[in-house]
Structure formats: structure tokens, C-alpha cells
Chains A and B, each alone.
Chain A
Amino acid sequence: AQSVTQPDIHITVSEGASLELRCNYSYGATPYLFWYVQSPGQGLQLLLKYFSGDTLVQGIKGFEAEFKRSQSSFNLRKPSVHWSDAAEYFCAVGEPNAGNNRKLIWGLGTSLAVNP
């Protein structure tokens, strides 16, 4: 069965440090890939997405992600974390060729804490 794995349940980084959140998927073909952020009291917000083309994707709030087909990964990165980045981060994938059944499969999320 298709699945999305976020190996890190919780990560703590210091403000100003770099960040990498991991995401792995299991699909035969390249899926559509998404990173969403959920801040306390707010709805999920799309950070970035990958459908095809350049494997390094730039998103909002200074985030980027790199798609690596050989590793079935789509890791999220940020060079310098701000205290406001503390939130829950979800990786999601959409199965290609799903026709009208285009729903997203979600990872369990990574909770990011930022130390001052």
C-alpha cells in the first residue's frame, strides 16, 4: 500500500540554525508531493509542492524542498529557522493517475520546536 513516512516525530532546533525535515514515500511512480504547515490555531497552509521539472522547489517563508527519486524522498529545508517556524509540518503525496480519486496521503507529521 502507498504510504508516506516522516521519520522524525519531534525536532528541536535553535533559532538561526538550519533545518531539514524528512519525508519518504512508497509509490511506483513519481507522486505529486506537498509540504503543509499547521500553526497553532491556524489552518494548514501549503509551503510548497512538486509535480515535475526542477527537483529543487522553492516555497513560501524561506522553505525549499528537494525531490530525490533514487531515495523516494522529498525533504524540507530551511537555512535559518525563526521562532515563528515552530509548528507541525506535514508531508503529503497524491497518487498519479488517480483520475477523479485525487486525494492526498498524509505523513504523521513532525512537530518543530525552536529554542531562542
Chain B
Amino acid sequence: NAGVTQTPKFQVLKTGQSMTLQCAQDMNHNSMYWYRQDPGMGLRLIYYSASEGTTDKGEVPNGYNVSRLNKREFSLRLESAAPSQTSVYFCASRIVGEKLFFGSGTQLSVL
């Protein structure tokens, strides 16, 4: 049982480049989330999807787009990467009201 799988684990981009972070869960969870983690800032919610077919902005959505492709997959896209988007990104999923299951994270550097 893989849980929450994120790819890639590491990525280096140049300013202005685009990329998509992939996330898939095999636990039949309805809700999926994207967070970024920066030193001293805890986890900040970028976007979430309460259920298949819906997405909502979190605390820090600017510069990001998301797609809930199906119940299993929730991708995060950076259209034009900026140095301020250098961070560790975590995908998570859950049944609402229960605990979050996290992926192992993507370390992104934007030069």
C-alpha cells in the first residue's frame, strides 16, 4: 500500500520555467491538499480539493494552479516559477474530519 506518492522528489528550475508536481493516493480519500513548507513558517495551504471535481484556494494560492484529475490524482502547476517559490512541497490526502496522510515531499529550488 503506497499511500501518497509525490513526484519528483527534487527539482531545480530557472526563473520563468514551468513545471507540474504530481500527486497520487491509493487510499480512496475524497480530499487532497497541497502545502508548502518554508523555514519558520510551518505548513501553508496552497490549494485543496474537498472532493473530485472541486478545488479551492488556500492561504497562499498566487502563482499556482491545480487540477484534480480524478479521485486519485491532484497536480500542482507552477506556470512561471519565481525564486519566492523555492520551498518544500507536500501533498496530502484524507477522509474529511480524519487525519492527513502526507507524501514524502518535493524539494524545489528556483534560481
Do A and B form a real pair? no
Residues of B at under 8 Å CB distance from A? Answer: none
